[in-house]
Amino acid sequence: MKGRFVLGSASPRRADLLRQFGIPFEVIPSDLPETLPPGPPAEAVTALALAKARAVASRLADAVVLGADTAVVLEGKAFGKPETPEEARRMLQALRGREHLVITAVALVKAPAGPEAATHVVSRVLMRDYSDAEVEGYLASGEPFDKAGAYAVQGAGGALVADVQGCYTNVVGLPLTTTRRLLEAWGVIGTRGSS
């Protein structure tokens, strides 16, 4: 690939997942507010991922920028990252013993202003019927506070999860199969067998 490839996200989890492709990339966070626009959750998550990628691409001359955003959705309501312990507690209590969706959108933008592409992946997650004491212990760990839905499936929060249906890395924050397909289509990485 010619030119730069940039991850427009400060998420260390996304960077760790992207490293699995074995391609060089830079990290330039978008610094956009993590606020979902109004609308159906899948559309809102996709719009925010695109906005993040566009914000970074607008500052660069020649690069492909990957933006991503993840939301936890329970009965049509999207949960972003909690800002307070009380908000995290409410999210975890609402999710307890119930199934929810995790939607991650992935967007690519060619700097500085296009072309662009975006898609999203949906996984289903069933939470255990965990106790209030478990919630308090998890809050005390500090882990919930930069995670959509107030939990990290790949961290200590995995103990709160009963089952994941669909793409596991989507729940972590970057659906690898879908991301690879996009990157192959854009020539960022070679197709399987030639990379």
Nearest one of 44, 4, 58 to 27, comparing CA atoms: 4
What does the alpha-carbon distance between residue 186 and residue 116 come to, in Å, rounded to a whole number?
10
Q: Are 47 and 39 in contact, with CB atoms under 8 Å apart?
A: yes
Instruction: Write out the two tokens for 9.
Output: 């996200």
Q: Are 93 and 80 in contact, with CB atoms under 8 Å apart?
A: no
Instruction: Write out the two tokens for 164.
Output: 């994941």
Nearest one of 190, 181, 174, 180 to 49, comparing CA atoms: 174
Total residue count of the chain as it appears in this document: 195
Q: Are 47 and 116 in contact, with CB atoms under 8 Å apart?
A: no
DSSP letter for 107, please.
Answer: E
- Helix, strand, coil share (%) of the chain residues, nearest 5: 35, 25, 35
Amino acid identity of residue 80, one-letter, is G
List residues with catalytic annotation. 69
